[in-house]
Amino acid sequence: MGCVEPPETMPAVVAQAPLDAVSRSWVDDLSLPPGRRDAAVARLHAYLLRVARFELARRRAAFASFSRGELDDLAMQTADDALVAVLRKLPTFRGASRFTTWAAKFAILEASVKARRRTWQDREIALEPEAWERFGGPGCASAGLEHSEQLEAIRDGIRVALTPHQREILVAAALNEVPIDVLADRLGTTRGAIYKTLHDARRNLRAHLAKMEAA
């Protein structure tokens, strides 16, 4: 935990509703100046570590090959990452739930991300530029003529309305169900960049389909 440094200054937290006493205590203590909040940060990290260990144990199948020590290290990494996220997002806490419930979600999310990455670690991700050509092909016609024609229209839209990069991302994420964080890791980019590419691809595809319907 020594490598985790809370921000030097914390913006004022605006509550949506009056906080319960325990949540208010957490927020007040974590909003203290550096040095004075260290004890609260340590308590928060210990809490997040307990949540991380529980969540990783619940997802044990993804880490079947891990030793006890490796799993403990992963739990520590999860708690570290969750702590940084909680401190960064502290000004957004509105009191809709208890602070500990809100904070636990960050540890659960980090554990989920690490489990997905582990599950896909040894799996090959086929980023096939031509895979979209199989979408809506003859094998998809069993749902009926109208559905088959819709799939064919989508396939044509993927072909003419998307860039090769957009097709690659759409096929991997939407058709092959590769998790966004895993895809970002493999391509050496960020989740935000992947989401933007997917957003642009879907927007272009919708515009193309609307144009075809209006023709």
Q: What is the CATH number of the domain that holds 197?
A: 1.10.10.10
Please tell me whether residues 187 and 110 are part of one structural domain: no
Q: What is the CATH number of the domain that holds 27?
A: 1.10.1740
Q: Which of residues 4 and 215 earns the better pLDDT score?
A: 215
Angle between helices 38-58 and 68-89 (to 10 degrees): 130
Please tell me whether residues 47 and 80 are part of one structural domain: yes
- Choose one of 120, 151, 166: the last residue of a domain: 120
Among 100, 128, 107, which residue's Cα sits nearest to residue 59? 107
Q: Which long-range contacts (CB under 8 A, 24 or more apart) does 164-170 make?
A: 164/129, 165/197, 166/197, 166/200, 166/201, 166/204, 167/129, 167/132, 167/201, 168/127, 168/129, 169/194, 169/197, 169/198, 169/201, 170/132, 170/198, 170/201, 170/202, 170/205
Q: Which domain holds residue 166?
A: 131-214
Q: Which of residues 28 and 61 earns the better pLDDT score?
A: 28
- Report pLDDT digits (tens) over 165-185: 888 888 887 777 777 877 887
195: left (phi over 0), alpha (psi -120 to 50) or beta: alpha
Mean pLDDT score of the chain: 80
pLDDT of residue 30: 96
Residue 119: band (very low, low, confident or very high) from pLDDT cuts 50, 70, 90: low
Please tell me whether residues 113 and 200 are part of one structural domain: no
For residues 185-201, average pLDDT: 88
Looking at the structure of the chain, the number of domains it has is 2
pLDDT over 90 percentage in the chain? 32
Please tell me whether residues 137 and 110 are part of one structural domain: no
Any domain includes 99: yes
- Report pLDDT digits (tens) over 129-153: 555 555 555 544 444 555 567 777 7
Model confidence at 209: pLDDT above 90: no
Please tell me whether residues 25 and 57 are part of one structural domain: yes
Any domain includes 207: yes
Residue with tokens 């690659």: 168
Please tell me whether residues 150 and 112 are part of one structural domain: no
CA angle 118, 124, 128 (to 5 degrees): 135
